[in-house]
Structure 1
C-alpha cells in the first residue's frame, strides 16, 4: 500500500466512524421526545422558600415538575409546559416580551400558551394557578 492509498483509507475510515457515531446522537438539551405537557399536574410551591424566591418578583419564573411557573409583569401567576411543542426543547420565560421562547428553532408562545412564531404549530399546555397566602398551587 502506498502513501496515497493509506491516507485515502484512513480518511474513509474516519468519515465512517464519525457517521456511525452521529447516527445515535441525541440532542443534549432536549427534554424528551414527547412534545405534550405533563398530565395530572397538581403541586404547591411555598413562596417563603428560597428556592421559589423568583416568583416573588414580577417577571420571575422557575421550573418545577415539567412546568414553567412565572409571574407576569402585572403580577399574575401563569404556568405552562416547559417543553416546546415542536421538538421538546426546554423553553424560557421572557418577561420583557411577555412570552415563552424556544432557543432551538426560535418558536415563541404568548403567555396564554398560543403560538406566536413557528416552527411550532401547537399551543402549550396551560395549567391553573391559585395563590392562597404564600402557597401557590399549580394544577390541571
Structure 2
C-alpha cells in the first residue's frame, strides 16, 4: 500500500467513526428524552426521603418520571413536563425569574408551562400537585 492509499484508508475510517457517532447520539435515539409529555400521570413523592430533599427548599426542583417538579419562591409546588418542546433537552427551573428555561437553546416557559415564543410556541404539559402532610402527589 502506498502513502496515498494509506491516507485515503485512514480518512475513510475516521469519517466512518464520525458518522457512526453522530447517528448513535442523535436526539431521537433510544435513551434520549422524548418531546412528548407523560400521560396518565399519578405518583407520590415522600418529601422526607433524601432523594426528594430539593423540594424542601423554596426554589428547589427535581426530575421524576419525565416531569420537573419545583417549589416556587412562595413555597407552592408546580409540575410540568421536563423536556423542552423545541428539542429533547431537559429544562431547568429558575425560581428567581419564575420560569422554566432550556439551557441548550434559550427557550423560556412560565411556571404554568406557557412558552414565551423564544425557539418554540408549544407549551410544556402542566400537571396538578397536592400536598398531604409530607407526601406530594403529582397527577394529570
Aligned to 2:58: 58
8 Å Cα contact 1:84/1:124 also seen in 2 = yes
Number of aligned residue pairs: 138
Query: Where do 5+ consecutive residues of structure 2 fail to align?
Result: none
Tell me the CA shift for residue 23 of structure 1.
3.8
Tell me the CA shift for residue 84 of structure 1.
0.6
Give the TM-score, by structure 1 length.
0.83
Give the TM-score, by structure 2 length.
0.83
Q: CA 1:136/1:16 → structure 2, altered by over 3 Å: closer, same or farther?
A: closer
Q: CA 1:104/1:2 → structure 2, altered by over 3 Å: closer, same or farther?
A: same
Query: How far does the alpha carbon of each residue in 1:38-62 deviate from its partner, in whole angstroms, 9 at most, with x for none?
Result: 0000011111111111111110111
Q: CA 1:17/1:106 → structure 2, altered by over 3 Å: closer, same or farther?
A: same
8 Å Cα contact 1:84/1:102 also seen in 2 = yes
C-alpha RMSD of matched pairs (Å): 2.2
Distance 1:94 1:71 in 2: 10
Aligned to 2:125: 125
